[in-house]
Amino acid sequence: MIKIGKPVPVIIGFLLLLFGFTHEAVSQDLSVEATVSETKIFIGEQFSLSVSVESSSQHSLDLPQIPNFNGARVISGTPSRSTRTSIINGRTTRSTTYTYTLLAERKGNFTIPSIAVRVDGETRQTNSIPIEIIEKGNLSSEGESQLPDIFVRVEVDEERPVVGQQIVASIVLYFKQNIEVTSFQPSFGWRTDGFWKEELENISQPRAESTILNGVRYRKATLLRYALFPSRSGELSLSEYGLTAGIRSQVNRNDPFGSFFGSGTNQRRVTLNSEQIDLTIRQLPPRDNALWMNAVGDFTIERTLNTSEIRSGDSIELITTIKGAGNIPLINRPNYSLPDAFDQFNPRESSDVGRRGLTIQGSKTFTELLVSRAPGTYEIPEERIAVYNPSSRRYNYKTLPAISFEVLPAPAQLAGSGGAQSFSLQPVTGLATWYSGEPKPFYNTLWFWIFLTLPIIAMAIAYWKKHQTDKLLSDRDYQRSHYSYQTAKERLHEARNHFTENNTKQVYHKLHKAITGFISDKLALPEAGLSDRELIQAVEGRSINGEITAPLKHLLDKCNTISYAPVGSKDDISDDIEKTEKLINDLKKKL
Amino acid sequence: MIKKLGALFFLLSIILPGLISAQQTKFDIANEYLTDREYRQALSIYHEIAAEDYHSGALWLNMGIAYTRLDSLGKAKFYFLKAKNYPETGDLASESLIYIEDRLSRRSAVLPPLPWQQFLDWQAESFGIRGLVITALFLFIMASGFFIGSWFYREKSTLLLRTGTGTLLFSLFFFTCSLIIHYQNQRFGTGVVVERQNQFYSSPDPESATISTAYEGYQLSVDYKMSEDYEDWFYIRTENGQYGWIPRDAVMVF
C-alpha cells in the first residue's frame, strides 16, 4: 500500500487557494467607471453623467448615489439604466450603465467627485471628472455666422516641419448638435504637391465627440488621417480637401456617445471643402561628413553580408536594413564605396511599412548584388551614416563597421567568360619598345622645313636661269651685253697671238676692236658706224670719272695713230695689252 | 676638347641605358604580378611607368589585360585602343578589342562615318600623319623637278609640265589630308566610358535635359575645344551620332 500522507488538510488548503485565486480574478475583472457627455458645458445646459460597471460575471448592484458638488445639480434622482452583454472571442462581458441628467448652474471649473458604487456589498469608487462651465453667447453673432453648420477641416500636428519629417494631417468633420452624419465619401484629387503621402489605418469607425467653436457646441469626428513627408524646403500647400457627406437633421440627444452613423429620415447630401493649408518646410540642419540616405526619424541601421567567402564569378549580397519610425518610403539606397572588382547590379529594395497608429513605421531593406571577377581579400569600408531625428532635432550618426570577405579563384579561371568568343589574353613580356614623351608635330621638325624649302629654292634658281636664257634668245642687245666681256676677252687673246707673231698693226687693231666692241655691246650701241669720240661721249654720259676716260682716250688714239707712228718696243706693246685688259675690267664694273 | 667630349659620351653611355632599363625592370616586375594574378599590384606599377612619361604598346596591352581580369571592361578597352596604335601590339590589341566588345553587356549602335571621314581614317591608320607628310614632300620635290625640267627640256616641256602639275596636286592633296588629320587629332580625342553607366546631357549641367545614357565601354569622340572652358565636363559625340555633355570622371580620353 502506498502512503499518501494526510489527505484532508491538503484538500482544504487546495480549495482555499482556489477560492483565493478566483476571488482575486473576479476583483481584477470588475471595473467601475464614470463619464460625462461633455466636459465643457454652457450655463443652463443639460449634460449626462454615466456610471458603468463592467464585468465578465453577474453581480448585485446598488443604485449609485451622486454626491453633491458645486456647479451643477442632478435633475432626476432616478437614473436611466441600461445593460449590455457582449461576447468577443468566447469571452463574455456584461456592462450595466446608470445615466443621470445634470444641469449646469454656475460658471467655473469644477470636479464631479468620486462616486461610490456597491457591488456585491462591496464599495467601489469611480474616478473623479473635471468639468468646465462657461457662459453661453458671449461671442458676437457675426463670429457665430462665420462657421457653417457643417464643415471639414484639415488639421496638421506640425506646421513647421523639416524636410522628410512626418506630419499627420487629420481630416476632421465638424457639425452642429442637430445634425447627424450618416455617411461620407472623400473626393479625389487632394493635391499634396511636395509631399509623400501615406494614409494611416488607425481609424476603424469614426466617433463623434463634443467640442465648442466660437461659443457654439459642435460635434467633431476625425474621418481620416494621412502621414505626410515634405520632400523639399520652402512654402508648401495642402490643397482643399473635398468631401461629400450624407446628413440628417435629427439628433438622438439621448445618446451623445452613440454611433456616428445614425438612422432616420430627411437625408440629404452636402459637398464640403476644407481650406487650403500653407506650411513652412524648414531645411535640414547641416550635418557632419557622413553618408546621407534621406532618413528622417528614429531608425536603427544594420549592414551584413550573406556570406564571407565566395568563388570568383559568384555573387555576394550586401544587405542593409533600416528599421524604425519615420520616412521609410523615402529612404534612399546607401551609396557605399565598393571595391572596383565587382559588377554591381541594380539593388533589390523591399520594405515593410506599417500604417497603423499615428506614425509610419517598419523596415526597408536594400540588397546590393555584387558579382566578383577577381580573387583576393576585399573589404567594404566602414561607413558613417547620418539619420536626422526630428524629436531631438539632432542628427544621430551610426557607424557601420567594415566588412571583409574572401574571393577564391574559380576553377580554371581565366579572363574569358567561357562563351563562344572565349579568348585567352596573354600579356606581353620581355623587352618592350619604349617611347618617351609625345612625338613633335611635323611642322615643329627641322627635316620638314628643309625638304619643304629645298625644292622651292631650286625652282627659284631654275626659274631665274630660264628667264635669263629666254632673254638671251630673244633680246639681241641683252645678248650683246651679256657676252660683251667674253667677246672682249677673245679679242684680247687674238691681240696677244698677233703680239707673239710680231704683227704690231693687228695687235692694235684687235685692241681697238676689243675696246669699242665692249663699249658698244655693253651700252647697246650700234655695232658699226660710231666714231671713237661718240663712244667716249657715251661712256662719259654714264657719269664715269676721268680715271677711266683718260686711258680710254689714250688707248683709242694710240690704236688709231699706230699705222703712222714708229713701231714701239715689245714692252710698250705688251704694256698696252695689259692696259687695255685693265680698262675693259674697269669698264665692266662701271657700265 | 676631345677629352671632354669623350668623357661626356662615356657618362651618357653609362647613364642612358640605366635610365631606360629602369622602366624595363619595373615592367618585368609588374608582369610577374600579372602572371600571379595580383592585378592591382601590377596595375600600380604600370601606372607608375606611365606617370614617368614612358609608354609602349606592351605596357598598354598588359594594362588592358589586367583591367580585363578585374572586369573593368571600359578601362580595358581604353588601354587596348591605345595599344592598337603601336605596330608591335596592334594585332594583339585588335583581337583583344573584339573579345572585350563581345563581353560588354551593352553596345552602342554605330553610325557609319561619312566616306571622306572613312578615307581619312584609313589614311591615318595606314600611313599616319608622318607618312602622309613624307609622301607629300616627296611628291613636291618630284613636282619641282618636273617643273624645272619643263623649263629647260623644251622638247618634252608640255609633258613635263603636266606631270609636274599632277604630282603637285597629289602632293597638296596628301598634305591637306595630313593637316586635316592633325587638326582632328588635336581637336578631338578618343574617349571610353569607364563607369557602369552615365547619362549625358544637353548642356554641362546635371539638371539639364538628358540626351541618352552611355554605358561602360561606349566609345566617344571628345571635343577638346568645346570642352576647354568646363573643368568637369566633356563635349562628346557618340558612335551613333548623338552629341552631349558628360562628366569627365565617367570617361578616359587619349
Q: What is the mean pLDDT of residues B171-175?
A: 93
Give the lowest-confidence range in A162-176, A333-347, A493-507: A333-347
> Cβ–Cβ of B37/A448 closer than 8 Å?
no
A526 has a pLDDT exceeding 70: yes
Q: Cα(A454)–Cα(A286) distance, rounded to whole angstroms?
A: 72
Nearest to A332 by CA among A294, A296, A300: A294
Using CA coordinates, name the residue in chain A closest to B55. A435
A432 → closest Cβ in B58, B178, B196: B58
Collect all residues with Cβ–Cβ distance below 8 Å to B3 and sequence separation of at least 6.
Answer: none
Residue numbers in B near A344 (CB within 8 A): 196
pLDDT value, residue A70: 85
Q: What is the mean pLDDT of residues A432-444?
A: 82
pLDDT-derived band at A19 (thresholds 50, 70, 90) equals very low
* Cβ–Cβ < 8 Å for A536, A503: no
Shortest alpha-carbon distance between residue A420 and chain B (Å): 10
Query: By CB neighbour count within 10 A (0-12 exposed, 13-18 middle, 19+ buried), where does A38 fall?
Result: buried
Residue numbers in B near A428 (CB within 8 A): 57-58, 61-62, 89, 92
> Cβ–Cβ of A425/B68 closer than 8 Å?
yes
B55 → closest Cβ in A435, A459, A463: A435
A73 has a pLDDT exceeding 80: yes
The reply to whether A452 touches chain B by the CB within 8 Å rule is yes
| C-alpha cell, A513 | 676692236
Give the lowest-confidence range in A13-27, A222-236, A379-393, B158-172: A13-27
Residue with cell 601590339: B89
DSSP class of A67? P
Q: What is the mean pLDDT of residues B115-143?
A: 88
pLDDT-derived band at B20 (thresholds 50, 70, 90) equals low
B39 → closest Cβ in A374, A431, A462: A374
* Model pTM score: 0.45
B19 has a pLDDT exceeding 60: no
Q: Is the dihedral of CA A349, A355, A357, A360 positive or negative?
A: positive
pLDDT-derived band at A12 (thresholds 50, 70, 90) equals low
Mutate to test the interface with A, among B49, B98, B137 (most CBs of A within 10 A): B137
Instruction: Transcribe A127-167 into DSSP letters.
Output: --EEEEEE-S--S-HHHHHHS-SEEEEEEES-SSPBTT--E
pLDDT value, residue A137: 58
Angle between helices A504-522 and A532-540 (to 10 degrees): 40
Residue numbers in A near B103 (CB within 8 A): 417, 421
Shortest alpha-carbon distance between residue B132 and chain A (Å): 10
Q: What is the mean pLDDT of residues B81-97?
A: 88
Residue numbers in A near B95 (CB within 8 A): 423
A59 has a pLDDT exceeding 60: yes
Interface of A with B in 415-444 (CB under 8 A): 415-417, 419, 421, 423, 425-429, 431-437, 439, 441-442
pLDDT in tens, A238-283: 988 998 888 887 644 544 444 455 554 567 888 888 988 899 999 9
Is residue A23 classed as helix, strand or coil in its secondary structure? helix
E strand or H helix at A7, and its extent?
helix A7-29
* Cβ–Cβ < 8 Å for A408, A310: yes
A434 has a pLDDT exceeding 90: no
Instruction: Output A301-309 pairs: Cβ under 8 A, ≥24 positions apart.
Output: A301/A385, A301/A387, A301/A398, A301/A400, A302/A400, A303/A383, A303/A400, A303/A403, A304/A403, A305/A380, A305/A403, A305/A405, A307/A405, A308/A404, A308/A405, A308/A406, A309/A405, A309/A406, A309/A407, A309/A408
Using CA coordinates, name the residue in chain A closest to B93. A425
> Cβ–Cβ of B24/A437 closer than 8 Å?
no
B137 has a pLDDT exceeding 90: yes
E strand or H helix at A376, and its extent?
strand A376-380
Q: Is the dihedral of CA A424, A425, A427, A432 positive or negative?
A: positive
pLDDT-derived band at A141 (thresholds 50, 70, 90) equals very low
Q: What is the mean pLDDT of residues A102-121?
A: 87
| Half-sphere exposure at residue B39, Cβ-oriented, CA atoms within 13 angstroms | 22
Residue numbers in B near A442 (CB within 8 A): 129-130, 133, 178, 182
Shortest alpha-carbon distance between residue A589 and chain B (Å): 30
Q: What is the mean pLDDT of residues A335-364?
A: 82
Q: Cα(B107)–Cα(B70) distance, rounded to whole angstroms?
A: 20
The reply to whether A458 touches chain B by the CB within 8 Å rule is yes
Q: Cα(B49)–Cα(B21) distance, rounded to whole angstroms?
A: 12
Q: Cα(A174)–Cα(A149) distance, rounded to whole angstroms?
A: 8
pLDDT in tens, A177-207: 788 888 888 888 788 888 998 888 865 677 8
pLDDT value, residue A21: 42
Q: Is the dihedral of CA B210, B211, B212, B213 positive or negative?
A: negative
pLDDT value, residue A142: 46
Mutate to test the interface with A, among B69, B73, B84, B101 (most CBs of A within 10 A): B69
Q: Does residue A522 or residue A346 have the better pLDDT?
A: A522
pLDDT value, residue A138: 53
pLDDT-derived band at A1 (thresholds 50, 70, 90) equals very low
> Cβ–Cβ of A344/B103 closer than 8 Å?
no
How many other C-beta atoms lie within 10 A of the C-beta of residue A398?
Answer: 19
pLDDT value, residue A525: 86
> Cβ–Cβ of A421/B23 closer than 8 Å?
no
| Highest-pLDDT range among A38-42, A210-214, A468-472 | A468-472
Q: Cα(A557)–Cα(A553) distance, rounded to whole angstroms?
A: 6
Which runs of E-coded beta strand occur in A177-241? 180-186, 195-199, 209-213, 216-230, 234-238
Mean confidence (pLDDT) of chain A: 81
B59 → closest Cβ in A432, A459, A463: A432
Q: What is the mean pLDDT of residues B62-78?
A: 88
Residue numbers in B near A379 (CB within 8 A): none
E strand or H helix at A467, and its extent?
helix A446-474
pLDDT in tens, B224-252: 998 988 988 999 988 888 889 999 988 99
Q: Cα(A541)–Cα(A321) distance, rounded to whole angstroms?
A: 116
Q: Cα(A400)–Cα(A382) distance, rounded to whole angstroms?
A: 6
A421 → closest Cβ in B27, B102, B133: B102
Q: Does residue A410 or residue A238 have the better pLDDT?
A: A238
Using CA coordinates, name the residue in chain A closest to B68. A415
| Highest-pLDDT range among A376-385, A544-553, B109-118 | A376-385
> Cβ–Cβ of B37/A409 closer than 8 Å?
yes
Instruction: Transcribe chain B into DSSP letters.
Output: -HHHHHHHHHHHHHHHHHHHHHHHHHHHHHHHHHHTT-HHHHHHHHHHHHHTTEE-HHHHHHHHHHHHHTT-HHHHHHHHHHHTTSTTTHHHHHHHHHHHHHH-S-----PPPPHHHHHHHHHHHHTHHHHHHHHHHHHHHHHHHHHHHHHH-GGGHHHHHHHHHHHHHHHHHHHHHHHHHHHHHHHEEEEEE-SSEEEEESSSSTTS-EEEEEETT-EEEEEHHHHTT-SSEEEEEETTS-EEEEEGGGEEE-
Q: What is the mean pLDDT of residues A388-404?
A: 91
pLDDT-derived band at A432 (thresholds 50, 70, 90) equals confident
pLDDT value, residue A460: 93
B177 has a pLDDT exceeding 50: yes
Shortest alpha-carbon distance between residue A426 and chain B (Å): 8
pLDDT value, residue A363: 93
Beta-strand relationship, A435-436 and B54-55: antiparallel
pLDDT value, residue A435: 84
Using CA coordinates, name the residue in chain A closest to B152. A466
Q: What is the mean pLDDT of residues B114-137?
A: 86
pLDDT value, residue A22: 43
Residue numbers in A near B70 (CB within 8 A): 340-341, 373-374
A323 has a pLDDT exceeding 90: yes
A160 has a pLDDT exceeding 70: yes
A6 has a pLDDT exceeding 50: no
Q: Does residue A187 or residue A545 have the better pLDDT?
A: A187
pLDDT-derived band at A14 (thresholds 50, 70, 90) equals low
